[in-house]
Amino acid sequence: MDIRYYDEFIDALKNKDRGTAKKCVKLFIGSFKDIHEKKRWAFRHLSELANRKPIYPLLQNYIRHELFVGIIAPALIDGFNNNEVESMLWIVKFINDFKRHRQEWKKVKAVDEMAIIKKCHEIDPSNEEVKALYAGYIIERINAHIAHSNRWKIEDTKEQFLRETSEERFNSDLKEAKLLKALDTRTNYEEVLIRNKEKMERYIKMIDEIGLLEKVTDTGFRKF
């Protein structure tokens, strides 16, 4: 890797010299010896972006297209394919950049960022950063389900409720709530858990009233 080309690329951007910038970034990408060198630079670069340090003039810290396609994406995708948690976490953190580049996102071969986080947790269940991200996604999902279900009242008909609710989704909420409690070893989400417990109990009451509860295989949230 020849960092001089990168410095010249940044200078050209500052001077609004698009021709020189394009030439320099191409030379910079071509100067990497192998995927390992790309990974080292990618991790450092993404860390700077994540810390909101100004990198590119006037680009609001989106990853520059040429750098993303030529260095960042190949490095992180290689890490993903080799079950490297650090690479997988960077994919999650910069998921919007991947989704802006559809061809690169297809190479990741994951349904969504939640699937990547689950895989990270399977690989390294003791990783605190992984647990924190996983817990955050679970909270978002539970809140979305509860907010949706709370639009329906006890007096609604069984047919109305069942159009928007399923045994699978209810069980998913319960399992994810229990997993969240297990993940939250530092009790960072204690207030959220209590608040969601109250909402979920109203959710359970609604299901009780319409006779759906006998279909549900796991009602452990009552003891949560």
Does residue 218 fall inside a structural domain? Answer: yes
The predicted pLDDT at position 64 comes to 87
The predicted pLDDT at position 50 comes to 80
The predicted pLDDT at position 63 comes to 86
The predicted pLDDT at position 167 comes to 54
Query: Token pair for residue 173?
Result: 């909420």
Q: Among 109, 139, 160, identify where a domain stops.
A: 109
Put simply, whether the predicted model's pTM sits higher than 0.75 gets the answer no
Does residue 149 fall inside a structural domain? Answer: yes
Q: Are 92 and 177 part of one and the same domain? A: no
Q: Among 109, 134, 158, identify where a domain stops.
A: 109
The predicted pLDDT at position 212 comes to 47
The predicted pLDDT at position 57 comes to 40
The predicted pLDDT at position 134 comes to 84
- Give alpha helix (H) positions in the chain: 3-14, 18-30, 35-50, 65-67, 73-81, 85-93, 95-100, 102-108, 113-123, 128-149, 158-164, 167-183, 190-209
**pLDDT averaged over consecutive 10-residue blocks of the chain (224 residues)?**
94 93 96 96 90 50 86 96 95 90 90 88 89 79 63 52 54 62 63 62 58 43 39
